[in-house]
Amino acid sequence: MLKRVLILEENTDHLELLTALLENNFTPIDIHTVETIEDCLDFLEQTEYDIVLTGCFIHNICITERLGHIVERAGGIPIIVISGSGDEGIAAEVIKLGASEYVVKTKKALEKIPLLVTKYFKKGRKVKAKSPKEGFELNTRLARELDHLMQKARNLTTEIATKSVPEDSVSLDTLFTQIQRLRKMIQNP
């Protein structure tokens, strides 16, 4: 069965190394690569992956700042964070935020990447069945968030009516997109 991998990495040399490592150890394999966290989130929303590999710092932003969003969007698939430095604090934080592994970029550790990937290909998703109560609580939280976003949209609409600022129009469009996404999530839990 074809395995699908998403790699989030801005360093092209590291990206090529990881891609070659995976292609040499797994066939067939479908590898998608992105260089920004936003692209990673978009790809995760559009395509189902078996594993995500990510660098620790993407465009000078520590992955811990957005890992919660990636974990949420990944829907239980394993996430391996690969770092250029062995920072124990960051390692603990990424695991706490939901990453499956934290690997330091050393030659020895990189040689073990295929073993880790194999392990997580076999394990698959970390999916926990939701109880009806959890589903209800999720819908309640989503409905509250939707109400909050609608209020923000109303406030922005009022502000835009009083002053014509193009950035506000973009903010409003973004807000309405988020509201539509939440509505879909509530309708299809």
CATH number, domain at 50?
3.40.50.2300
The band of 80, judged by pLDDT with boundaries at 50, 70 and 90, is very high
Q: Are residues 136 and 111 in the same domain?
A: no
Of all residues in the chain, what percent carry a pLDDT higher than 90?
43
Q: CA nearest 15: which of 2, 31, 26, 29?
A: 31
Asked if 54 and 83 sit in the same domain, the reply is: yes
> Structurally, how many domains does the chain consist of?
2
Residue 88 and residue 22 share a domain: yes
- Which residues have CB under 8 Å from 45's CB, separation 6+? 73
CB 153: neighbour CB atoms within 10 A? 17
Q: Are both 22 and 99 inside the same structural domain? A: yes
pLDDT of residue 155: 72
Do 177 and 160 lie in one domain? The reply is yes
SS3 (DSSP) at 65: helix
Same domain, 173 and 82: no
pLDDT in tens, 4-60: 999 999 999 989 999 999 999 998 999 999 999 999 999 999 999 999 999 998 988
Residues 34, 7: contact at Cβ < 8 Å? yes
Average of per-residue pLDDT across 137-148 = 66
Q: Are 32 and 41 in contact (CB under 8 A)?
A: no
Alpha-carbon distances of 160 from 20, 42, 148, 154, 156, rounded to whole Å: 50, 28, 18, 10, 6
Q: What is the pTM of this model?
A: 0.65
Residues 52 and 29 in one domain: yes
Q: Same domain, yes or no, for 91 and 144?
A: no
Question: Does 141 lie in the same domain as 114?
Answer: no
Same domain, 23 and 70: yes
Give yes or no: residues 36 and 19 share one domain: yes
The residue segments making up the domain with residue 46 are 3-123
**DSSP bridge pairs for 6:** 32, 52
Q: Long-range contacts of range 147-151, CB-CB < 8 Å, 24 or more positions apart?
A: 149/175, 149/178, 149/179, 149/182, 150/179
